[in-house]
Structure 1
Amino acid sequence: MSSSVLVLRNISQRLLSSHQNTLVPLFPLGCRHKSDVNLKDVLASLIPEKQKEVAEFRKTHGKSKVGEVTVDMMYGGMRGIRGLVTETSVLDPDEGIRFRGYSIPECQKLLPKAPGGEEPLPEGLFWLLVTGNIPTQEQAAAITKEWNERAEIPNHVITMLNNFPDRLHPMSQFSAAVTAMNSESKFAKAYSEGVNKSKYWELCYEDSMDLIAKLPTVAAIIYRNLYKGGSPPEPIDKKKDWSWNYTTMLGFDNPDFVELMRLYLTIHTDHEGGNVSAHTCHLVGSALSDPYLSFAAALNGLAGPLHGLANQEVLVWTTKLQQSLGGEVSDQQLRDFIWNTLKSGQVVPGYGHAVLRKTDPRYMCQREFALKHLPNDPLFKLVSQIYKVVPDILIEQGKAKNPWPNVDAHSGVLLQYYGLKEMNYYTVMFGVSRALGVLASLIWDRALGLPIERPKSFDTPHLKKLVGAQ
């Protein structure tokens, strides 16, 4: 047997085996009523009610108009066009994102937490996104248990990841690995065998649960191959939650960083259905592409600098600002720097949002975390100073509809503080989180039988004719 095969087998065994330690279980996994904590069973009882609600609503109000489309909207990236149904979250311009009606502060307060922890578990948010209900501690623990049991990834994916060249961007590796895991798709297999449409949502659910479970391991292999000399990550520990396992596999053990990861992976999950990654997953899924292919497409959109890559760009800009001004600076020095930036035709990265008109609550909860855990970090102090100075300048300039910071203005600083300094990797972490939102939505797409998406398009001559232009 060749040495390369032996190495691969050793890596595979380490990844797919369970820890044999004697840690006290993180959650009480024994439950009195199995159906109450089995997400699929709960969902099966909810779907007929929702199907009936939607059918009756469409029968009564199917011809009602919900908005108008202008020529500017069509040329301007479809901004403001009401054209999608997304059950999982809604973005309010003033309040920010609401997950199934709950604001981020409400989610922080109400969602289950790890023992001794203060930040919500992503497992709990996923339950909320899928069902619309705040889960119990036992229900969140059941998701943890199920994801840990589904986390095994195919050997051919490990082989592929280990053979990627170092020059291939982490997001390209991530997207390719997710696509390759389509070999495991229950949806694709059943569809090829002629499964009834009524079963689509169940198969989409199974694929989504499998995929979410596998993402931390895939993402950790990419990180360790690129930045840690190719050493394999620790195996899944079934006594740890999803975020904790991911943090450990990356190679970090700081409890505060684990808490940050729980927060980070919660707040980046969903941002209603019109953003590029969510819309792409919905669009590709509408062709009945399986969840692996749909999510891989979403990752390719997330990789763009105007979407998920923005947090990296913010950190690069902030670091350059720090190096340029050197040490602590006065507010006036910072104002002068910002004005020079704007006058040169550049923007202030991390400020402004296509929908939001106030400070992004995702920014605020990260700021609160930083005030508690790293109040004296120089880079955080600079971010705070920027927050103090920039909005007034943008208001005075008069061009920005929203002068307030968004989520990208803060996340990179926190990751840097805890030692995860490889900025090219940040969007992969965003992608791990975003899977929860877009796949929860995809399950409901199939449950409601939403059709293939096919809006009507025009060329400019026909559009001119349509509006009576000469």
Structure 2
Amino acid sequence: MALLTAAARLFGAKNASCLVLAARHASASSTNLKDILADLIPKEQARIKTFRQQHGKTVVGQITVDMMYGGMRGMKGLVYETSVLDPDEGIRFRGYSIPECQKLLPKAKGGEEPLPEGLFWLLVTGQIPTEEQVSWLSKEWAKRAALPSHVVTMLDNFPTNLHPMSQLSAAITALNSESNFARAYAEGINRTKYWELIYEDCMDLIAKLPCVAAKIYRNLYREGSSIGAIDSKLDWSHNFTNMLGYTDAQFTELMRLYLTIHSDHEGGNVSAHTSHLVGSALSDPYLSFAAAMNGLAGPLHGLANQEVLVWLTQLQKEVGKDVSDEKLRDYIWNTLNSGRVVPGYGHAVLRKTDPRYTCQREFALKHLPHDSMFKLVAQLYKIVPNVLLEQGKAKNPWPNVDAHSGVLLQFYLIVLRHDRDELLHSPVWGITSTGCTGTAHLEPSPRLPTRETQVHEHRWSDEVCGL
């Protein structure tokens, strides 16, 4: 459950008229997000309570044996307000498509890509923010960004062979010492006040994540040099790229886009669901987000864009950088005939090209059209779908977000390998998961119950099926 998403679940669907009107009224009078949430949350609590009273016994679907053994794929089992993945349109954040977000969300002065702060505001309130509200959020995160000394010391003392994602998870867990919610809960705070403390923790954690990631990156690849000071006049992404040591304006623009489009992707993926699951036990945002990062570190979840880069690099080694369509087609068929897949193609839900791929492609066409790796990615885009359709196995032969993201980061020299060719889960991936942090924790009260799904052993399944 990504940071941003916890906050978003507070508020219901985009077409809930009373909520929309309340948000518009609040947004017109305040740039303080907490004040706006204080107005929205009671209304959303009442809406959910009424909805459950009226429809609590309604059946929403059937469960098959395949769903039980297939990781609950296709099962309607979660309520998630901030984003929905449409098979044909791709991800929608609070009802807005990626092109709509690119058009409507505020941008940095002189910039063309949406600011992640704007998407965060959209996720937690359901409303497109003003430039003033986004500016307030940038300054608020800058104000909260400093790391406690014990976390800095811990990061500095980690061995260089400890994987960056392990360092990130450990640092986030150690930040639990700063949890307002954990302290207040131990002191017996009234449950109606939970959201206020969780809000503070989520805001603090989002603010500190770039500092943690940059510290890890500097220790591993910049000889432990200082990340420098946060500049309250800069946006969240700009401060992050400065701390990494990159001053290229194009790279900062890429980070704004990258952090925006990766921030949330429904609530059923491993990291988002993990964050919600752990948070349902009233673990504070630091502990639940650390758990989510451990899920993200798994090769079946967060490694996909790096696997694409490995495959592309190997392809160039074997057939060269200027490869004909015919040779490329043969290479793809050899990959498939050897029992492997073409990484970056296909999706469990999507049935068209991932719009997150499309917006990254547009960025590359504008800023790095002559890069050899991008040209290869573009060439594959013309060939792979047809080959996969010929093979007849893929339900979706189109590229997903991972087919492009690693190539863009590599172009701007973000290190994607770690220690003897071991693939690196760059802490950048963790930073993008802000969506789950917000929504999973700012849940309406009465809060969603602790997740306790009924579990059956295999012999029960035999009995049910009459076997």
Is the structural similarity TM-score above 0.5?
Answer: yes
Of 20, 41, 50, which aligns to 1:47?
41
Partner of 2:176: 182
Q: Deviations over 1:281-326 (max 9, x none)?
A: 0000000000000000000001111111111111111111111111
Query: CA offset at residue 425 of structure 1?
Result: 4.6
Within 5 A, what are the aligned runs for 1:322-361?
Answer: 322-361=316-355
Question: Aligned to 2:341, what secondary structure does the other structure show?
Answer: coil
Of 460, 463, 466, which aligns to 1:462?
460
Question: Aligned to 2:205, what secondary structure does the other structure show?
Answer: helix
Aligned-partner residue type, residue 31 of structure 2:
V
| Alpha-carbon contact 1:200-1:446 (below 8 Å) kept | no
Question: Aligned to 2:251, what secondary structure does the other structure show?
Answer: helix
Q: Deviations over 1:317-354 (max 9, x none)?
A: 11111111112111110010000000101111111111
| Alpha-carbon contact 1:303-1:427 (below 8 Å) kept | no
Query: CA offset at residue 417 of structure 1?
Result: 1.0
Of 96, 101, 126, which aligns to 2:90?
96
Question: Aligned to 2:329, what secondary structure does the other structure show?
Answer: helix
Partner of 1:145: 139
| Alpha-carbon contact 2:117-2:137 (below 8 Å) kept | yes
| Alpha-carbon contact 2:385-2:397 (below 8 Å) kept | yes
Q: Deviations over 1:198-255 (max 9, x none)?
A: 1111111110000000000110000000011111112111111100000000000000
Distance 1:62 1:70, change over 3 A: same
Q: Distance in 2 between matches of 1:446 and 1:408?
A: 33
Aligned-partner residue type, residue 286 of structure 1:
S
Aligned: 1:163 with 2:162: no
Q: Distance in 2 between matches of 1:34 and 1:157?
A: 39
Gaps of 5+ in 2: 1-26, 418-422
Partner of 2:12: none
Partner of 1:428: 427
CA RMSD of aligned residues (A): 1.4
Query: CA offset at residue 35 of structure 1?
Result: 5.6
Q: Distance in 1 between matches of 2:42 and 2:242?
A: 40
Query: CA offset at residue 355 of structure 1?
Result: 1.1
Partner of 1:442: 440
Partner of 2:8: none
Q: Distance in 1 between matches of 2:127 and 2:427?
A: 28
| Alpha-carbon contact 2:199-2:442 (below 8 Å) kept | no
Partner of 2:23: none
- Among the aligned pairs, what percent are the same residue? 68
Within 5 A, what are the aligned runs for 1:311-330?
Answer: 311-330=305-324
Q: Distance in 2 between matches of 1:343 and 1:123?
A: 45
Within 5 A, what are the aligned runs for 1:374-389?
Answer: 374-389=368-383
Aligned-partner residue type, residue 329 of structure 1:
V
Q: Distance in 1 between matches of 2:32 and 2:295?
A: 32
Question: Aligned to 1:37, what secondary structure does the other structure show?
Answer: coil
Aligned-partner residue type, residue 453 of structure 2:
P
Q: Distance in 2 between matches of 1:308 and 1:42?
A: 34
| Alpha-carbon contact 1:311-1:426 (below 8 Å) kept | no
How many pairs were matched up?
Answer: 437
Of 274, 287, 297, which aligns to 2:291?
297
Gaps of 5+ in 1: 1-32
| Alpha-carbon contact 1:302-1:427 (below 8 Å) kept | no
Query: CA offset at residue 446 of structure 1?
Result: 5.0
Question: Aligned to 2:91, what secondary structure does the other structure show?
Answer: strand
Of 257, 282, 292, which aligns to 1:288?
282
Q: Distance in 2 between matches of 1:316 and 1:393?
A: 20
Partner of 2:392: 398
Q: Deviations over 1:389-423 (max 9, x none)?
A: 11111111111111111111101111111121334
Q: Distance in 2 between matches of 1:82 and 1:203?
A: 31
Of 250, 253, 258, which aligns to 2:252?
258
Query: CA offset at residue 75 of structure 1?
Result: 0.6
| Alpha-carbon contact 1:35-1:41 (below 8 Å) kept | no
Q: Distance in 1 between matches of 2:241 and 2:116?
A: 13
TM-score, normalised to structure 1, is 0.91
Of 31, 56, 60, which aligns to 1:62?
56
Query: CA offset at residue 458 of structure 1?
Result: 0.9
Partner of 2:66: 72
Question: Aligned to 1:387, what secondary structure does the other structure show?
Answer: helix
Deviates more, 1:198-207 or 1:279-288: 198-207
Of 451, 454, 463, which aligns to 1:453?
451
Aligned-partner residue type, residue 278 of structure 2:
V
Question: Aligned to 1:410, what secondary structure does the other structure show?
Answer: helix
| Alpha-carbon contact 2:306-2:416 (below 8 Å) kept | no
Aligned-partner residue type, residue 437 of structure 1:
G
Distance 1:51 1:91, change over 3 A: same
Query: CA offset at residue 427 of structure 1?
Result: 4.0
Query: CA offset at residue 467 of structure 1?
Result: 2.5
Partner of 2:6: none
Distance 1:432 1:385, change over 3 A: same
Q: Distance in 1 between matches of 2:394 and 2:321?
A: 29
Within 5 A, what are the aligned runs for 1:352-371?
Answer: 352-371=346-365
Query: CA offset at residue 366 of structure 1?
Result: 0.2
Distance 1:446 1:288, change over 3 A: farther
Of 205, 208, 212, which aligns to 1:218?
212
Query: CA offset at residue 466 of structure 1?
Result: 1.9
| Alpha-carbon contact 2:297-2:425 (below 8 Å) kept | no
Question: Aligned to 1:322, what secondary structure does the other structure show?
Answer: helix
Distance 1:250 1:448, change over 3 A: farther
Aligned-partner residue type, residue 328 of structure 1:
D
Question: Aligned to 1:91, what secondary structure does the other structure show?
Answer: strand
Q: Deviations over 1:111-131 (max 9, x none)?
A: 000001000000000000000
Deviates more, 1:33-42 or 1:391-400: 33-42
Q: Distance in 2 between matches of 1:76 and 1:298?
A: 21
Aligned-partner residue type, residue 348 of structure 1:
V
Question: Aligned to 1:445, what secondary structure does the other structure show?
Answer: coil
| Alpha-carbon contact 1:310-1:349 (below 8 Å) kept | yes
Of 117, 122, 128, which aligns to 2:111?
117
Partner of 1:8: none
| Alpha-carbon contact 1:220-1:250 (below 8 Å) kept | yes
Partner of 1:87: 81
